[in-house]
Amino acid sequence: MAETSELICVACPKGCPLIVKHENKNVIEVIGAGCQRGKDYAICELQDPRRMMASTVKVNGGLHPLVPVYTRQGFPKPLIPQLAQKLREVEVPAPVKINQVVLEDALGTGIDIVASRDMPAAH
Ligand code: SF4
């Protein structure tokens, strides 16, 4: 039986309210989207929701004990708690460079986790 879900498109600052008619995860119709990106967002949100995630990982011998990191692309939403757990186990040696991969192919998703700033070694 067809269901209806309400979403706000976050693909641009306009924030169009979307009404999505779907059966299970098959989208039948998207109402309210101001452009194609909103329709694509609604389909993705129903079938494969993803989020950018920011966190920190430990740095051995760094000026500070942690370096901020982020997912290079949107990460599958259901796996985010598991990713948070995994990042607690990651340790990288100083120095760390901005955009350096600290965890490759996180949880087999093909998505790398990268540093969002430099972390020099302690002197
Ligand atoms: S549907 Fe298009 S215009 Fe509306 S918020 Fe999304 S991207 Fe922006």
Q: 6, 14, 20, 36: which to mutate for ligand 1, most atoms within 8 A of CB?
A: 14
Which of 74, 81, 117, 76 lies closest to 98 in space, CA to CA? 117
Query: In this structure, which residue's CA is closest to atom 6 in ligand 1?
Result: 38
- Determine if ligand 1 sits within 6 Å of the CB of residue 11: yes
- Residue 33 neighbours by CB distance under 10 Å: 20
User: Does the domain at residues 54-115 carry the CATH identifier 3.40.190.10?
Assistant: no
In this prediction, residue 42 carries a pLDDT of 95
pLDDT digits (tens, 9 = 90+) for 14-64: 999 999 999 988 999 999 999 999 999 999 999 999 999 999 999 999 999
Which of 69, 71, 30, 72 lies closest to 47 in space, CA to CA? 30
- Determine if ligand 1 sits within 6 Å of the CB of residue 16: yes
CB 21 within 8 A of CB 31: yes
* The pLDDT of residue 123 is above 90: no
Domain boundaries, the chain: 3-48, 54-115
Token output for 6:
């309400």
- Determine if ligand 1 sits within 6 Å of the CB of residue 36: no
pLDDT digits (tens, 9 = 90+) for 52-111: 999 999 999 999 999 999 999 999 999 999 999 999 999 999 999 999 999 999 999 999
Right CATH number for 3-48 from 2.40.128, 2.30.30, 3.40.50, 2.20.25? 2.20.25
Beta strands in the chain (DSSP E): 3-8, 17-23, 26-31, 50-51, 54-60, 66-71, 75-76, 91-93, 101-103, 113-115
**Cα(106) to centroid of ligand 1, in Å?**
30
